[in-house]
Amino acid sequence: MDGRLQVFAGNSHPSLAASIMAELEAPLGRAMVGTWKNGETRVKLDENVRGSDVFVIQALCDPINHHLVELLLIIDALRRASAARITAVIPYFAYAKQEKKTSGREPISAKLVANLICTAGAQRILTIDLHAPAIEGFFDIPVDHLRAAPLLARHARRAGIESIVAVSPDAGGVARTEEFRVRIGGSLAIISKRHPGPDVSEALEMVGDVEGRTAVIVDDMISTGGTLTLAAELLRERGAESIHACATHGIFAADALEKIDRSPIERVFVTDTLPLPAAGPRAKLGVVSVAPLLAEAIMRIHKDLSISALFT
C-alpha cells in the first residue's frame, strides 16, 4: 500500500486500542463515535482518510449488537470517505459459536455477521482465535487469523508452569491444546463432554493420565465458566496435583468469575482481547496483552509482509 497508515477504534475496548497505538507509536485517528438522543449510533470521522490504509479496532464484546453496529458504521464512513483499504481488527469475533445449524429453523449467525462486515466495506479481517476455524470461509475477503497459544505458553513458562498435562476440555479443542502442549512440553489429555442444553455441559470421560501432575486446561474462551469448572472437578477426581487454565477470550458472563473462584483451579490466564467485567473476584486471574501481537500484525499487513512469521 502506498497510502499512509491510519487506525481508528470504536468504544468496545479503549484500553486495548490505546495499548496497540502505544506499540505503533502513533496517535489513534480522531472520530466521533457516540449515540444520538434517540438511541441511534452516531459516527463522524474527524480525519482525512482519502487514499489511506485504514484499520478499525473493535472487539465485539457486550453489548455485542451495539458494538457491531459501531463497527459497521465506522467501516461505511471510511468507505464513503475514499479510504484505499479498510481492515477490520476484531480481537474477539462474536456469534462464532453460532457457525452452524444445530436444529431446524435456526440462523447461521456467524455467516450473517461476516456478510454484514463485508457489505459495509471491509476489505480485510484481522482476528484472534476464532471459535470455529471454518468461519474464515464465511468471508469472501482475506482473513488473517492469529493464534494466542504462543503468548499463553510463554506466559505459563514464566509463571513456572512446565512439564504439564495439557487438557482439552472437549474433542473440538484438541488441535489448539496440542499446539500449546508442543510449545510448553508435557503430555496431552482429552475430556469428552456433551451439551444437554444451551451453555450447559456434562463431562463424560477423560483420556490421559493426570495423577500427581500439573494439569493446564486449554480453551479458546471462558464464557459462563461451566465447561472450565466441570473439567477442573474431573481433573481433581483423577488426582491432578495442581490445576491451571489458559484461554484466549475471557468473556466471564454471568457469575463465571465466582464459579472460578470457588473451583479447584489455582490460576487462570487469559488475554485482553476483551475487557474484564467491572465486578467479580479476580484473585486467580492473570492477563496477557495481545497489543504487541496485533500491532505487529497491523504493520506487517500495511507493509505487505508475511503474517505467518508471527506463528513461530
Catalytic site positions = 193
What pTM does this model have? 0.95
Computed over every residue of the chain, the mean pLDDT equals 94
**Separation in Å, CA 145 to CA 105, 127, 132, 283:** 30, 5, 11, 31
pLDDT of residue 203: 61
pLDDT value of residue 201 = 62
Complete domains list, the chain, with CATH:
5-147+291-311 (3.40.50.2020), 149-288 (3.40.50.2020)
Q: Indicate if the alpha-carbon torsion angle 139, 18, 14, 290 is positive or negative.
A: positive
Cell 495481545 maps to which residue? Answer: 290
Q: What is the pLDDT of residues 142-184, one digit of tens each?
A: 999 999 999 999 999 998 887 799 999 988 899 999 999 999 9
pLDDT digit string, tens, across residues 221-255: 999 999 899 999 999 999 999 999 999 999 999 99
